[in-house]
Each structure stands twice: as C-alpha cells, then as structure tokens.
Structure 1
Amino acid sequence: MKVPTNKVKDIISYYKDQLLPLYGEEQSRQMLGMLIENFFGFDRIYLVLNPEERLSESEMLTIHFAVKELLKHRPIQYVIGKALFCGHWFEVNQNVLIPRPETEEMVEMAIAMLKNDEQVSVLDIGTGSGCIAISIELQHPKVQVDAIDVSKEALEVAELNAKRLNSAVQLIQMDIKSNDFSCINKQYDLIISNPPYVSKSEMQLMRSNVLDWEPSLALFVPDDDPLLFYRYITDFAHSHLKSGGILLFEINEKFGQEVLELLEAKKFSEAVLLYDYHGKYRFVKGLM
C-alpha cells in the first residue's frame, strides 16, 4: 500500500483515484463512504466533524482488500455483505440476488393491495434473500408469510435475515417447476414473485458486476421460453390462491404483454400491466 497517511480523508482520496476509471468520481466516493461506514462506523457527518480520524494498520488492510474486490467489479453489496431494502439491511452473498429499488415498489404495491384490518396470508416464490417476504411481514400487522426457493444456500441467507429482523416468515425449500407441492397445503390471499426473467441473449448487454457475480439461477431463462417461470407459477397459483386472491409479478419489460396474455389465458380476471417509477412496465397483477 502507498497511502500517504492513515487519515481517513487521505485513504478515501487515494483509493478514489484507483476506482475512478471504473466507477467515476461520484460513485467512487459513495462506495468508499459505504466501506468506511460499514466496516468502522464512521458516517459522512462524523468524518466532517473529525477530519483527523485515522485507521489502524489492520483497518487500512480491510479497506485495501475491499477496494481490490471492487476493482474486480464485485458489487459493493457483496463486499460489505448487505443491501438496504425497504428501510432494512439484508444480508446478501453470491447465492442471492442483490435487491433492486424496483422490487421495493412491488412490495409497496403488495402492502397497498392487502387489507390491514384482516388476517391475510402471502406466499413469496423464489424468495432469495427473503427481502420481499420479510419486508411484507414486517410492514403488515396481520399477515402470515411463507416463502419458497429451490436453493438451499439462498434459504440459509433468508433464514439469517429473518432471525436478525425478528420476522416470523416460514421458509420452505421447493422447486416450483416440480409437480410436488405436498409441502404447501393451503391457499393464499396473495402470491408474489420476482422470478428469473432475463433471456440468455440479453447477457451481452449486462454489466460484469451482475453477470460475473450474481447467481445465474436467479437471473436467466432460455431465449425460446422466456415465460418459463411465469407459466409454472401461474399454474401453481390456480390451486393455491383463494377466490379473489392476487397474483403479483415483477417482469422483464420486453415481455410484459406476453405475461399479461398468459394471465388472461389462464382465466385470471382484471389482469393489468403496472408501471414502475421510471415509467416502464415492470409488474403484472391478476385476480383469481
């Protein structure tokens, strides 16, 4: 390391110059601020008030190796081991997707669709880190949430998050593409899912921080069957949604119309495409 001093401001300046070619000025500063705050508890206001704050040699090494990971395009959320979602920090690693702001919007929609004064049940399919299921359970006063995933490793992450956030979400290992639903013998008021929806041909358009690090199992579908998971989930929902129950999907905007037509063909009523905050079709809703 060739950092001029062990002052935090000098460390940030030194490593910012290394990150600049990949991330630009603003993002480099933001990521270094996240590293400093998450590893050592020094937020931006503290550093302004304490400009002479210093790190120990071992702390400097922690930053050094974290920056090396960022230079490999490893997402900052994997470097610090957590991601902010719906106001809570969720543990993440390479077995689960990093939660996106668009998915926060879907959680907000789900909460708005559920009646606050009634006991309701929700199933999250493909839960990953558990961020959708746990966020709904924490925000709704009378909800019982189940969450399924095919990945044992993803469910282990979800279990850590549920315990840390004092959530009562029930986690179940199940492959939605199988015909064995024996572990679920109930019906739900809402089934919600952010399934894999990126077609293989779109891989060339993706950044390396996603393509090289996030789990392909949770991202990709075949080019010749982009609605693969929507079809399985829709069929499952027919027997596991209550009458009047809601099916809510996050979608690839390229296939919004196709997902809508799938729900209509499966006799879901009031099927509709919904916009995200950027004005793109991002969600589909239907009623059983």
Structure 2
Amino acid sequence: MQTLGHIRKQFIQDLIELYSEDEIKSIFQIAALEYLEIPKSNFLFALNEPLSSAHEEILSKALKLLLSGKPIQQIIAKAPFYGLMFNVTEDTLIPRPETEELVDLIIKEQKPQNHTIQIIDIGTGSGCIAISLKKNLPNSLVTAVDISAQALAVAKQNAVINSTNIEFRCIDILEWEFVFQEEQFDVIVSNPPYITQNEANTMHQNVLRFEPHTALFVENDAPLLFYDYIASFALKHLKKDGTLYFEINQYLSVETKDLLIKKGFTKVEVLRDLNQVPRMIKAQF
C-alpha cells in the first residue's frame, strides 16, 4: 500500500516534461484535496498516510488524463476565481489569476458608488467576471453575453451555484448594431480573444487541445478585431461618465491604447499586473 507522498513522486516523475516541479506539486495538491477530501491545512501531514486502493485508482486515472494534456481544472470540472468556485468544461476558458486582477480593479473603482450601476461583460465564458462583479457589487445590474450557447449554459449554472442574478444573452458582439437598442452601461468589461495564431505555436498543449479556440485566438492580420468592435459598441452604449475595461494582449498594449484614442476616448490608461506585465486597459470619454 502506497502513501500519498509516493503517489506525488510518481506524478512528478511522469509529468516533468509537461510542467515544472512546482506546478506538478500544485496540480497534485488540487487533485488530492478534491478526491481525498483532505483539509488543505492537513495536506502535508497526509503525505505520510497510506492510501486505499480506491484512492490510488482515482489518482492514477487523474494522472493519465494529465499526461494527455488535460488541465486539472477540467479533470475535477471546477476552478476557483476571486474567492468563488466555478464549474468549467471544454466549452469555457479556465479562469486565470490575471483576470482576477481586472475584476479587483473594477470592484475597487466602482464600490464607492451607492446608486445602481449597469454592467455588461462581453464574452463571459464561465461567467467568472460577471458573477464576481455581481457578488461584490450588490447594487449592480449585470448583463453577460457570449456567442457560445454551450458556454452560457455553464455560466448560468455558475450563477446559480454562487447565488447571483445575472441576465445572460447569446450574442455575437461583432453584430452588436443589430442587437442592442438604447441600453446604456456604467461599466463595459471584456476579456476578448486576443492571442494571435503566431503566438499559439508557443503555447502549452493543455490550452491548445482542451480550451475553446474561439475564446482565445484571433487572426494574425486582425489582432485587435474584438477591441475595435467593442470600443465602437462603447461609443454608443457607455454612459458619459462610464468606464470601459479590457484584459489585453501584453504585446499589443501600445496598439490597443492607440486604437482607443483614435476611437475618441480621452482618458486611456494601460495597467500592469502583479508580474509587471501590461495586462489591463481602462478608458473613459
């Protein structure tokens, strides 16, 4: 009978060509906490405990899936984001820590307001942005849109799980002129597709094989396509004192800022994440 520590060594040995050792340890901890229902505070003590054959088998199955490139979040079908838990599938992006920083920025800037604020999240995916904003800005009315009906089905589940009331719409934002009427928003936020096909060649297989390409990639000759259309949408549907927030491609921060200035935004600010990478941009009239 093997201990949990022995199984962890097996994970490290088998996965070292796919991940760094620290990443493997983190992945293993996520799997162990999920399947063995160990409190996080007891994890290190549990490494010396013998495992039942049933637990060995379930961790072995997880290891096989990890070797295929499948992300641990999809194996356990959930991921944490901004203190909440979200269901994830192959129809949704796995929520990233960088996006938490965007959500945190919006909450800090909008929370002082006592009146109801209208928010729209464009390309909502799992709903992590929209739901986290609604949870932390209870005075907000939040609309979340996505072109994928499958992603919206997951987002609706997540809204129920996290006890939030969100209006979901299945919309192609590239056709916004035919969809939206006179709605006005205090906050427009989007984490749109922004990775070029050239950049895809350098990405990890677990992203390329298991996350939705429509939510990730844009053509090399139109890397700012969604920023262009969403900025045009904002020109008509952002309130006079409202704010447009984007997560951006770090390699195109200057170009994105220039696009927004050319569109007519007068206050445009590029913001860096905790790793000092240009990751967010906000714009106002």
TM-score between the two structures when normalised by the length of structure 1: 0.92
Give, in whole Å, the separation in 2 of the partners of 1:279 and 1:26.
21
Query: Identity rate of aligned residues, in percent?
Result: 37
Equivalent residue for 2:217, pick from 209, 216, 220: 220
Equivalent residue for 2:186, pick from 185, 189, 198: 189
Instruction: Structure 1: state its 5+ residue gaps.
Output: none
Alpha-carbon distance change, 205 to 177 in structure 1, aligned in 2, over 3 angstroms = same
CA contact (8 A) 1:83 1:99 kept: yes
Match for 1:39: what amino acid? Y
CA offsets 1:243-277 (integer angstroms, 9 cap, x no match):
11111111102211111111111111211211212
Alpha-carbon distance change, 205 to 183 in structure 1, aligned in 2, over 3 angstroms = same
Give, in whole Å, the separation in 1 of the partners of 2:120 and 2:29.
37
Does residue 35 of structure 2 align to residue 39 of structure 1?
yes
Moved more, 252-261 or 20-29: 20-29
Give, in whole Å, the separation in 1 of the partners of 2:181 and 2:132.
21
Give, in whole Å, the separation in 2 of the partners of 1:271 and 1:51.
50
CA offsets 1:91-129 (integer angstroms, 9 cap, x no match):
111111111111111111111221432211100000000
Give, in whole Å, the separation in 2 of the partners of 1:103 and 1:47.
28
Does residue 27 of structure 2 align to residue 25 of structure 1?
no
Give how far 1:82 is off. 1.2
Equivalent residue for 1:236, pick from 219, 233, 238: 233
Give how far 1:53 is off. 4.3
Alpha-carbon distance change, 24 to 253 in structure 1, aligned in 2, over 3 angstroms = closer
The secondary structure found in structure 1 opposite 2:18 is helix
Alpha-carbon distance change, 49 to 102 in structure 1, aligned in 2, over 3 angstroms = closer
Q: Which residue of 2 aligns with 1:10?
A: 6
Give, in whole Å, the separation in 2 of the partners of 1:258 and 1:27.
33
CA contact (8 A) 1:116 1:141 kept: no
Q: What does 1:1-288 align with in structure 2 at a 5 Å threshold?
A: 5-49=1-45, 53-114=49-110, 115-182=112-179, 185-288=182-285
Give how far 1:179 is off. 4.3
Instruction: Structure 2: state its 5+ residue gaps.
Output: none
Match for 1:89: what amino acid? M
CA contact (8 A) 2:121 2:129 kept: yes
Alpha-carbon distance change, 56 to 257 in structure 1, aligned in 2, over 3 angstroms = same
The secondary structure found in structure 2 opposite 1:245 is strand
CA offsets 1:122-143 (integer angstroms, 9 cap, x no match):
0000000000000011111311
Alpha-carbon distance change, 237 to 207 in structure 1, aligned in 2, over 3 angstroms = same
CA contact (8 A) 2:102 2:280 kept: yes
Alpha-carbon distance change, 247 to 44 in structure 1, aligned in 2, over 3 angstroms = closer
Match for 2:68: what amino acid? K
